[in-house]
Amino acid sequence: MNHLRRLLALVALLLLPCLTQAQEPAVTVPIPATPGPADLITPVNPAPIPIDEALRGRLRPMGKPARKVILVILDGLAASGLTFARALSPRESIELDRFPIVGRVIGKPPQGEVNDSAGAASALATGYPGPIKRLAVDELGRPRRTLFEEARQRGFKVGLISDTRLTHATPAAFGAHVTDRDEEAEAARQLVQSGFDLMLSGGIKYFLPAEEGGMQPIGRNLLTEAAAAGYTVVKTRTELAQAVSRNAGRVLGLFSHSFLPFTYDPAFRQTPTLAELTAAALALLDRHPQGFLLMVEAGKIDPCLHLYDAAELVAQMHETNLALRAIADFVRTRPDALVVVVPDHGTNGLAIVESFDPERFQRLAASTMALAERLPATAPDLLPQLAATFPGVAFTEADLAFLQAASGKDYPRRLGYVVNRKLGVEFLPFQREFPKGEAYDHTGEDLFLHALGAHQGLFGGVTRQWEIPRRLAAAMGFVFP
C-alpha cells in the first residue's frame, strides 16, 4: 500500500506542470522598440532577418557588456590550415579546438567571389563590405568610420598588433583610410595621428624620412612626431618590457624594417614574437578601467602560403598557437573578456593529400624560402643538393628544368611547389590558366570563426564578414555603425 501511495504521488508530481500549463495563458515577452546597451541579437520570428534590423529593433537584454575584446585575424588561413597544424602538433590538438563557439563566415567582397586582405580587413573594421585593395573607404573613396575609432570615442583603449608591417593592409585598415593599400607612407601618417593607444608591429621604414632610408618625404620623421604626440616609441624587446613595467600610456613599437623576421632568420630570436607582443599589449591595456579593443594579426601565415613554404607555415602556426593560448588564458580568467578568431581569406589552396605522413614531413621538411636563399636555381649541383637536404625524396630532370626556368622572385615559389608536393602537401598549381588580379593566389571558400568569452554566443552560425564588427559592438554594449 505504501508503494502504491508513493507511486500515485510521483505521478501527480509529474503531471502537475502539464496541468498548470494547460490552464495558464501563454506569456508574451515584450521586445523593446529601441535597443539598449549590450543587447543580444534575438529574432522574434524564426525567419532570418538582416543584422541591422536585429540590432536596432529585435533585441533582448543580455547582461553586462564585454569590456576586454580581442579580434584575432589569421591572414590567408583556410580551414585546411587548422588540419595541417593539428596533424603536426605533438598532442594532435590546437588552442582553437578548445574554443566553445564555432561559426562559418562568408567572405565575399562587393564584386566577385575572392577577397584580398584590404577588402576583408575593411569589412572587419567598418561593418560594410570592403572594396578590394582599399582601406576603410567606400566605392567613391570616402572614409568609413572603423569600430576601433568608434570604441576610442566611447572611452575604450584601442590597440593594433601585427607580425607584418603596421602599414600593411590588415592592421592599417583599422585606423587609416586610403584608396590604395600600397599607400603605406600615408597610412603611417594617419596611424600616428589616430590617437590609438598601442601599436606594435614592423615596417619602421614607412615612418622614417627619405634621407634615413625611409619612405616619408625628406625631413618628415613620424617617430619624432609620435613621441611629440605622447607615444613611447620602442624598437627592441627590452624597450617594450620597460614600457610595460612603466605602464606607458601610449606605445608605438616598430621592431623591424619590414615584416617581423621569419623563424629561420637569425634575427627572429632578437625580435619580440607575436605571443610576446600580445602578452605585452594585454598587460598594458588590461589596466584601463574603461576596457579595451585589440586587433591581433598573425600575418606571416599568408606569405608562407603565397610562397608554398609548408615548413615555415608550420612554424608560423606554432607561433600563432602560442599567442592564442596567451589570449585564451587571459579571457578565461576575466568574465568581461571576449576573443573572436577569424581568417580574412584563403591563400593558394593548401590541401593535405593521401600521401602526407606527419612523421615523414617533420623529419624531412625545411623552409623552402630559406633554402632558396642559400641554394640558387643556377647552382650547378642543384639536384644533388636537394637530394642531400631531403634524403629519400626523388628529384627528376623535369624538376630541375622547372626550377631553372625561374626568374627573380619566382624561384622560392617554384622550389616550395616542387618540394612540398613530394611531401604530401598540395597547393594551387604553380602555372595555371586563370589570370592574376588584385587578389592573386587567394581563394574564395567560406571561412571559419571561433569565439570564447563574454557573449560568445553572438558569433555562432553563419555570418557575413562585415557583420562581425557589428556583433562585436553589440557585445561591447553599443550599436555600430
pLDDT over threshold 90, residue 100: yes
Low-confidence winner among 62-66, 148-152, 241-245, 453-457 (lowest mean pLDDT)? 62-66
SS3 461: strand
Helix (H) or strand (E) holding 310: helix 310-332
**Contact between 132 and 111 (Cβ < 8 Å):** yes
Q: What pLDDT is recorded for position 408? A: 79
Q: Which three cell numbers stand for residue 338?
A: 571576449
Q: Which three cell numbers stand for residue 262?
A: 621569419
Mean pLDDT of 71-89: 97
Neighbours of 49 (CB within 10 A): 14
**Contact between 126 and 172 (Cβ < 8 Å):** no
Angle at CA 283, nearest 5°, toward 280 and 287?
145
Mean pLDDT of 206-231: 97
> For the chain, what percent of residues have pLDDT higher than 70?
87
Mean pLDDT of 219-246: 97
Domain assignments of the chain as residue spans, ordered by start = 68-351+441-476, 366-422
pLDDT over threshold 90, residue 3: no
Q: What pLDDT is recorded for position 136? A: 98
Low-confidence winner among 22-26, 317-321, 362-366 (lowest mean pLDDT)? 22-26
Neighbours of 300 (CB within 10 A): 25
CA distance 35 to 255: 43
Mean pLDDT of 358-368: 97
> For the chain, what percent of residues have pLDDT higher than 90?
83
Q: Which three cell numbers stand for residue 75?
A: 591572414
Residue range 68-351+441-476 forms a domain whose CATH class is alpha beta
SS3 365: coil
SS3 164: strand
Mean pLDDT of 279-301: 97
Mean pLDDT of 235-247: 97
pLDDT over threshold 90, residue 370: yes
Question: What Rg, from alpha-carbon coordinates, does the chain have?
Answer: 26
Q: Could you report the per-residue pLDDT of 35-60, keeping only the tens digit for each? A: 444 333 333 333 445 655 555 543 44
Average pLDDT, the chain: 89
> Which residue would you say has higher pLDDT here, 24 or 324?
324
Mean pLDDT of 446-451: 98
Q: Which of the four pLDDT bands, split at 50, 70 and 90, describes residue 153?
A: very high
Mean pLDDT of 342-355: 97
Mean pLDDT of 136-147: 97
Q: What pLDDT is recorded for position 82? A: 97
pLDDT over threshold 70, residue 32: no
Q: What pLDDT is recorded for position 432? A: 78
Q: What pLDDT is recorded for position 11? A: 42
Q: Which residues pair with 216 in a beta bridge?
A: 209
Low-confidence winner among 24-28, 88-92, 361-365 (lowest mean pLDDT)? 24-28
Q: Could you report the per-residue pLDDT of 111-140, keeping only the tens digit for each? A: 999 999 999 999 999 999 999 999 999 999
CA distance 291 to 32: 27
Q: What pLDDT is recorded for position 53? A: 59
Q: Could you report the per-residue pLDDT of 397-436, keeping only the tens digit for each? A: 999 999 999 987 899 999 999 999 999 999 999 887 777 7
Closest CA to 60 of 78, 34, 80: 34
Q: Which three cell numbers stand for residue 191?
A: 596611424
**Contact between 118 and 173 (Cβ < 8 Å):** yes
Q: What pLDDT is recorded for position 60? A: 46
**Contact between 97 and 456 (Cβ < 8 Å):** no
Q: What pLDDT is recorded for position 450? A: 98
